[in-house]
Chain A
Amino acid sequence: MAQIKYHILVCGGTGCRASQSEDILKNFQELIIDKGLGTEVQVVKTGCFGFCEKGPIVKMMPDNTFYTKVSPADCEEILNEHIIKGRKVTRLLYTDPETKEQVSDSKHMEFYKKQIRIALRNCGFINPENIEEYIGRDGYQALGKVLTELTPDATIDIIKKSGLRGRGGGGFPTGLKWEITRKVKADQKYVICNADEGDPGAFMDRSVLEGDPHSVLEAMAINGYCTGASKGLVYIRAEYPLAVERLKIAMRQAREFGLLGQNIMGTGFNFDVEIRYGAGAFVCGEETALIHSMEGKRGEPTVKPPFPSESGYLGKPSNVNNVETYANIPVIIIKGAEWFSAIGTEKSKGTKVFALAGKINNVGLIEVPMGITLREVIYEIGGGIKNDKKFKAVQTGGPSGGMLTEKHLDTPIDYDNLIAAGSMMGSGGMIVMDEDDCMVSMAKFYLQFTVEESCGKCSPCRIGNKRLFEILEKVTKGQGTLEDLDKLKNLSNVIKDTSLCGLGQTSPNPVLSSLMNFPDEYNEHVVSKKCRAGSCKSLMQYIIDPDNCIGCTLCARNCPVNAISGERKQPHIIDQEKCIKCGACMEKCKFNAIHIN
């Protein structure tokens, strides 16, 4: 009997699916049957490989060949060359931008070298829609172990010793949270998974749910055993349809296999999970707002205490953890607290998943040990800044976080160092900015987001953020004054101190951190009315250099508002009053005569 000799792994993450990975999968499956390779080759749809920049990704096993930017039309060539003739399809291999050498084995790619995959251990490795692959990789063994060998207290003790902290942003010790929920007496408790990932540019939780949904279900069941809850709820945004679909498939399969439901593994433990949909409100990532939304009420936060661990969903004790936190649990139970706590820094153990986005070469999803430096993340894993521009800052923690700059490049990344640097870990979005990004505009961008997402319940957040936004708008329009900068700072601090929930308490962070790190840029905007990045439209002028202009009239003919005038063969002039700064003239000019001032 012929044995399966090759596995072709095709990425089924959202990014790769958007570039036709479904068709690639279908083509492989059909071609394999056509070519009579069905008994030797197995095609597997997996979760995200993380290297979204070069998607769709196809990985050949066992030789670890990593094909990038594969199109459905390439499938036949890959089968003919790689599988049948044993030759790699070199044009689809990844080329190292530094050495210009083609790297066939993903183990040798800079992108993967420094990564340690714990929460993402199964992403890009198993088929998320097949529980058997999860079971084959130690799936549900941790649940079996705690149900048969460990008491809830002993299990919580392992989590506490591991040093795992909440991956949703706050960094609260996970074991401690579990213990608090366990100690509260109640007839019913709930295990809640926070999958309301709302930061702009963040997609860690989505990828875990899409690539390895069972690890979250298993961890929720373990939590149920520890805290005494028989019911789990996943709060997920309806705008994550693929994650929802895979989660549903996983729940159905787990029930069929008897791994969710009544009397799990004959131990008398009952646990089941339901999904609750969110409508995509940022504030619902805050745990009290999340709970109210699940109860069918307005997604508004309430004052803590009482904490959800004491009084949460329907007034019952509820343990709320983030997706990535849960994904770490089964491995910790199997491999032990010591193994986990050996990774990372003194107070931040383990790894963190980051979504790299912005002006960086390797946009994608990475998992790195705590304590890695920003420089390693940006220049080694991320492959540096796009188009060889200069690095300016990176925003961590989304709209609640702050900017890290050049001077933080060698700071080890962990919860405490990031807070000391004026930012925060957040859920793991990392938006990289280069010299063309204006820091005032970035702060304005994030603030616009929080203004829109503020629930409006408390005035500091509802009114204060709006005022902050207006001042920033003034500054970017060149109408700001030095007093405005003081006002920005004072108002920010008031909002931070007096807002009801985490959203308002952190929303001025981008303003404060950009003011602290880039005071010169703010000053330039208000004093000399200049934007050095050239991104504030009101502060820039398109100017025609009379020495280079030959009077071809091309710009004048293309100007949509007729702001350019001049005689033929004579230098032209732009009327700054009329100019809408669209840049069409500069694009058209063949003589390099138009500049931005």
Chain B
Amino acid sequence: MEKIKSLADLKKMQGDLRAKMELREKSNHPDSLIQVKVAMATCGIASGAKEVMEVFVEEFSKRNIEAVVTQTGCMGYCYAEPTVEITKPGCDPVTFGYVDVKKASKLIDKYILNNELVDGIIPVNYASIDKK
């Protein structure tokens, strides 16, 4: 183990280590971050949701986008799997269907970074108990 010889050393080390803790730090205040939920039930996984989730996780860390990626169970739109629900801070969640690896990158470029909508939005056809 190389000893820490200065405050600069410590700061550099912290910078490297912080990344490892980031997943936990973010979950302390998820509401202020972009939240991406990937539906990962059997139907989703069979249609490639795992790879889609991978894209989100990797792209976010590559481009330094502050976001939380989690998985959820089946959202009920099995016909449109893989489905992804994206919640931007202060906005209502938007659910996108037919998200493959390519479309995942497109969602990041267009919706997440530029607020442009992308094809395949699944309209909200339910009321959530949170809002009752």
A257 to B13, CA, bound (A): 11
**Nearest-neighbor residue (CB-CB) of B21 within chain A:** A136
Q: Which residues of A contact B21 (CB under 8 A)?
A: 126, 133, 136-137
- Contact: B17 with A135, CB < 8 Å? yes
A3 to B6, CA, bound (A): 31
- Contact: B10 with A7, CB < 8 Å? no
Q: Is B115 an interface residue (CB 8 A)?
A: no
- Contact: B40 with A86, CB < 8 Å? yes
- Contact: B14 with A85, CB < 8 Å? no
Q: Which residues of B contact A126 (CB under 8 A)?
A: 21
Q: A5 with B68: in contact, given A61-B23, A135-B10 (CB under 8 Å)? A: no
Interchain CB contact (< 8 A) of A125 among B14, B24, B30, B54: B24
Interchain CB contact (< 8 A) of B72 among A2, A3, A86, A141: A86
Q: Which residues of B contact A145 (CB under 8 A)?
A: 7
- Contact: A133 with B61, CB < 8 Å? no
**Nearest-neighbor residue (CB-CB) of A145 within chain B:** B7
A265 to B7, CA, bound (A): 6
User: Can you list, as one digit per residue, whether each of A236-270 has a CB less than 8 Å from chain B (1) or not (0)?
Assistant: 00000000000000000000111100000110000
- Contact: A85 with B41, CB < 8 Å? yes
Q: Give the interface size class of chain B.
A: 35 or more
Q: Which residues of A contact B40 (CB under 8 A)?
A: 84-86
Q: Which residues of A contact B132 (CB under 8 A)?
A: none
* B41-89 CB contacts (< 8 Å) to partner A: 41-42, 44-45, 53-54, 57-58, 61, 68-73
A9 to B21, CA, bound (A): 12
Q: Give the interface size class of chain A.
A: 35 or more
- Contact: A3 with B57, CB < 8 Å? yes
Q: Is A296 an interface residue (CB 8 A)?
A: no
**Nearest-neighbor residue (CB-CB) of B10 within chain A:** A144
User: Can you list, as one digit per residue, whether each of B10-38 has a CB less than 8 Å from chain A (1) or not (0)?
Assistant: 11011001101101111100100000001
Q: Is A63 an interface residue (CB 8 A)?
A: yes
Chain A to chain B: the 10 pairs with minimum beta-carbon distance, closest first:
A258-B3, A136-B17, A86-B40, A86-B71, A144-B7, A62-B27, A87-B73, A136-B21, A63-B70, A266-B6
Chain B residues near A (Cβ < 8 Å):
1, 3-7, 9-11, 13-14, 17-18, 20-21, 23-27, 30, 38-42, 44-45, 53-54, 57-58, 61, 68-73
Chain A residues near B (Cβ < 8 Å):
2-7, 9, 61-64, 84-88, 125-126, 132-133, 135-141, 144-145, 147-148, 256-259, 265-266
